[in-house]
Chains A and B, each alone.
Chain A
Amino acid sequence: MADKIRIATAPLAGCFGCHMSLLDIDERLLDLIEVAEFDCSPLNDFKRVGSADIGLIEGGVANTENVETLRDFRRHCRILVAVGACAVNGGIPAMRNQFDLRDCLEESYVNGIGVENPMIPNDPEIPLLLDKVHPIHEVVKIDYFLPGCPPSADSIWTFLTELIEGRPVSFPYTQIHYD
């Protein structure tokens, strides 16, 4: 059998919904793994991207580690895809961009209801937050953008099958309308 297509996936600043939508292909998952295998992904215990044909990125960039992961994916994936609104344009997490980061932190850890020991967590084990949440194309080159919140399982399926079969990717209207 020919070598399987390697797919890697990573969630950055998203909600995991785009990963769930990938699983929403349901039984087709069993067909997918006939032709593809997973490199690093939250679904297995590979912690670092090896080398993949397709990298699927969920979520925008909100802290320094998101930046590192994204760069690592760009280096090791032949085709890199922004999956979902958060990756494409920052999505809901980017709503914090209209506020000062300090105000956001204080709201949760200092002025919150029922908070004891008010303080902003500051341990060196916690990565540095970026001032603003960014779409991923501001950090690395992206080959495809798959819109939706999340993109439907059918549109992910169409995308993957056309890509794997080497056809130009196109969607029927019903698969790309938003909500």
Chain B
Amino acid sequence: MTDRLETAANPEGLNRVVIEPLTRVEGHGKVTLLQDDDHHIHQVRLHIAEFRGFEKFIQGRPYWELPVLVQRLCGICPVSHHLAAAKATDALVGCEALTPTAEKIRRLMHYGQVLQSHALHFFHLSSPDLLFGFDDDIAHRNIFGVIEDYPEIARQGVLLRKFGQEVIRVTAGKRIHGTGAIPGGVNKPVSGEERDYLLADVRQMIEWGQQAVELTRRIFMESPDYHREFAGFDSNMLSLVAQDGAFELYHGGLRALDENGATLFDHADCQDYDRLLHEEVRSWSYMKFPFIVKAGQRDGWYRVGPLARVNNADYFPTPLAEQEAQSFRELDAGRPVQASLAYHWARMIELLYCAEAIGILLEDDDISGTELVRRGEMQHRGVGVIEAPRGTLFHHYEINDDGLVEKANLIVSTTHNNQAMNEAIRQVANRYLDGKELNEGLLNHIEVAIRAYDPCLSCATHALGKMPLEVRLVSSGGELVDRLVKSPAGEVAHGS
């Protein structure tokens, strides 16, 4: 845990290198590096360069709009925002516990969401790096290359994602930006017909989920030392856990462990999140830097998402995922796994869990129940927390007596990983780029490190326009020393 490479001591004398936009991640970001004349790297930063201002412009809107409005932060994991906002509005309408039908339908929707998002991330976006190598030909290093070379893997990825999207459509009415969750419950049960439709595919999805775990495990274990070392560093981990410490995605208490697995806090009440976590602003990014207050601004940063959740959970409630999690935990003999690239493996264990959990819920008669909504006395403050595909997501709203929003605070999953992603690219830059002449394959190493976190830069304050990938070396005197340009056909050329 170090500030190494965040800020160069004497930036004036250094050459600036830019990677922009980052691709095969959701949304946009860019990376800048500062190198000296011998190519030694002095500064590396991941910038999130767009701002949307949701926290302001939802002020004055009625609270019941929140679940459908705020999900427009992100079209990749809209259900996470839909449900986190719905949970916050449950608190606003004084609903202390959902009806069993409402809770199970929301869980079904959520598991469908995590499954589709994980499938998208692994198969459509990241698998090309892992199957073809980080410096594979740029024209080939994408999902269309996977379709060509590994049609069966690509087909499974497409169909896994489709299944998750269909679970969402059935429970939310629409695949993207649905309307299923409302303050205090849900607006429709699952019919017998819908249930049979989804049940028909569950077994196949579980089987493909197992194969996906096996694939990521095998890739990692092919060169475990390299995969541990690449963008590897120690950090704290934060996630929700169930009351008994089980893996949990929808509702629970907050658990934070340090890099050795020692407890920082456990089963903390989500309503107190603002006393546990603060966010630091830095001038060079629209994405804030959260930290655990107790551990301090410097050492209190942490990771969230699949790696943190699999590390933090005592066990998985479904048998096949638990079996896989056990072998995952053996990787570092019980110490929390710290490798950035192990995110992919952990992500597929979660995908398998979701497939199993969807199967269990579809067999549960409660999902066809008719008691859908509960309400109590109106409240002024509501906090909703959920484990989104990319990690813990916080929505906090305050409303006035007329039910209009007065204040809002959102901490999205990707933001928690801000410091971690910066650490990851600094480690990679230091190890693989330092002292070298740049080329496209080397630069992709930086993006591979970022992709492991599956950042949703849409969520994280969101997207920028596209710029050419152009890497410029500018001397301290402001003179252009070298220029690398990636052409539309993917060739990288030196030019001036």
Contact = CB atoms under 8 A, between A and B. Distances in A.
Contacts of A72: 466
Contact of A121 (B75, B141, B162, B283): B283
A92 B458 CA distance: 13
B177 A65 contact: no
A179 B56 contact: no
B75 A113 contact: no
B378 interface: no
Interface stretch (B26-34, B93-101, B204-212, B347-355): B26-34
Contacts, number: 247
Interface residues of A, number: 76
Contact of B465 (A10, A16, A150): A10
B144 A108 contact: no
Nearest to B444: A45
B20 A47 contact: yes
A125 B486 CA distance: 20
A112 B55 contact: yes
Nearest to B16: A125
Nearest to A32: B144
In this complex, the interface size class of chain B, counting residues with CB under 8 Å from chain A, is 35 or more
Interface in A110-163: 112-119, 121-123, 125-127, 129, 149-150, 153
B463 A11 contact: yes
Contacts of B73: 15
Contacts of B468: 47-48
A80 interface: no
Interface string A14-40: 111111110110110110010001111
A63 interface: yes
Given A11-B28, A48-B486, A114-B277, A92 B72 contact: yes
Interface in B384-408: 396, 407
A164 interface: no
B120 interface: yes
Interface string B134-151: 000011011110010000
Query: Chain B contact residues: over half helix, strand or loop, or mixed?
Result: loop
B179 A179 contact: yes
Nearest to B60: A98
A51 B158 contact: no
Interface string B455-467: 0101000111111
Contacts of B464: 63, 65-66, 127
A81 interface: no
B216 interface: no
Nearest to A76: B488
B286 A126 contact: yes
B196 interface: no
A21 B138 CA distance: 25
B17 interface: no
Q: Identify which of A26, A39, A98 gathers the most chain B CB atoms within 10 Å of its CB.
A: A26
Contacts of B26: 16, 42
14 contacts: A11-B463, A17-B78, A23-B124, A24-B176, A27-B158, A33-B147, A43-B125, A43-B144, A47-B468, A69-B467, A96-B56, A115-B288, A127-B50, A179-B179
Question: What are the 3 tightest A-B residue pairs by CB atom distance, in nearest-first order?
Answer: A17-B75, A50-B488, A69-B465
Interface of A: 10-21, 23-24, 26-27, 29-30, 33, 37-40, 42-51, 59, 62-63, 65-70, 72, 91-93, 95-96, 98-99, 101, 103-105, 107-109, 112-119, 121-123, 125-127, 129, 149-150, 153, 179
Interface of B: 20-21, 23-28, 30, 32, 45, 47, 49-53, 55-59, 69, 72-76, 78, 120, 124-125, 138-139, 141-144, 147, 154-155, 158-159, 161-162, 165, 174-177, 179, 274, 277-286, 288, 297, 396, 407, 409, 444, 447, 456, 458, 462-469, 486-490
